[in-house]
Amino acid sequence: MMGPTHALSAGVAFLAVATPMSHYVHHLTPATAAVGTVVAAGAGILPDFDHRQATPARAFGPLSAALAWTIGKLAGGHRHGTHSIIGTGVFVALAAAATLNPWALAATLWLCMGLAVRALWKHPPNRPNGKLDYRDVAGLIHAAIAAYIAYQLVHSGLDMGVVPWAVAVGYLVHLIGDSMTEMGVNWLWPHPRRYRIASIDTGKTVEKRVVVPALYVGLAATVYLTYPKWGPVLLHTLQPTTG
Ligand SMILES: [Zn+2]
């Protein structure tokens, strides 16, 4: 599955569960729901950080390439440790622990939001194997901008308790998505058995022309349907204070 499919489906899923989540699990405001949606989209490609050629490894130039190499080694290769219940637990626990420290929280936001942007806005394209080139500079600039936004968000006074929940949703949606492909997912890693609930290896053309546009429609529909819940509140917060 391609990065945009994972990121979009994770964002759509987070928006879809935002209202019940706000009622039963963790209170959300329109602003924190928006943060959660972007973080979930980024967490939606986080499991593929075990693969040096996938989108996450290319998000921040040499920084993310080194991180992907390390995670790949720790997780035993592509679609092993990161694509399992243990992998999910580790990343969600890290995100939960990160909410206790502003720097760790900023780093988590930096990673997830940066990945989300990189998955949906694939310019410049990933460089081919091998030497460093101008695309690594673009990756580093992207990393710096993402770091600035993450820093600002941490100091914005918003309740960032949403972050681990968003990571959990995005991460699980990725594993469910991969479970629908031919290769399947070894949910019970280190046990080697792979589980598959469908085998829709869509191929890049179908994914680009059908799945990704359908997800954009889903995103628009979810925003439209949930608008009465958050629209007026958001408009109210954005209104300039008069007098
Ligand atoms: Zn994957």
Q: pTM for the full model?
A: 0.86
Write down the pLDDT at residue 102: 93
Domain count for the chain: 1
Residue 242 lies in a domain: no
Residue 240 lies in a domain: no
Residue 25 lies in a domain: yes
**Residue 219: Cβ within 10 Å count:** 18
Write down the pLDDT at residue 243: 43
Distance 195 CA to ligand 1 centre (A): 13
Distance 23 CA to ligand 1 centre (A): 31
pLDDT band at 217 (very low <50, low <70, confident <90, very high): confident
Residue 172 lies in a domain: yes
Name the percent of the chain lying above pLDDT 90: 41
Which of 180, 214, 221 is CA-nearest to residue 9? 214
Cα 83 to Cα 179: distance, rounded to the nearest angstrom: 10
Distance 152 CA to ligand 1 centre (A): 30
Distance 78 CA to ligand 1 centre (A): 8
Distance 184 CA to ligand 1 centre (A): 9
Residue 166 lies in a domain: yes
Q: Is the dihedral of CA 183, 172, 110, 33 positive or negative?
A: positive
DSSP state of 101: S
Residue 241 lies in a domain: no
Write down the pLDDT at residue 128: 63
Distance 72 CA to ligand 1 centre (A): 12
Least confident of 51-65, 115-129, 213-227: 115-129
Q: What pLDDT digit, counting tens, does each position of 133-145 carry? A: 777 888 888 888 8
Q: Classify 178 as helix, strand or coil.
A: helix
Distance 174 CA to ligand 1 centre (A): 6
Residue 162 lies in a domain: yes
Distance 211 CA to ligand 1 centre (A): 16
Q: Which domain holds residue 119?
A: 3-233
Distance 114 CA to ligand 1 centre (A): 18
Indicate left, alpha or beta for 242 from its phi (over 0: left) and psi (-120 to 50: alpha): beta
Residue 76 lies in a domain: yes
Distance 58 CA to ligand 1 centre (A): 15
The b-or-e profile of 118-153 (16+ CB within 10 A means b, else e) is: bbbeeeeebbeeeeeeebbebbeebbeebbebbbeb
Do residues 37 and 162 lie in contact, with contact meaning Cβ atoms separated by under 8 Å?
Answer: no
Q: Is the pLDDT of residue 241 over 60?
A: no
Q: Considering the chain, what is the average pLDDT of its residues?
A: 86
Distance 3 CA to ligand 1 centre (A): 9
Distance 242 CA to ligand 1 centre (A): 50
Distance 100 CA to ligand 1 centre (A): 28
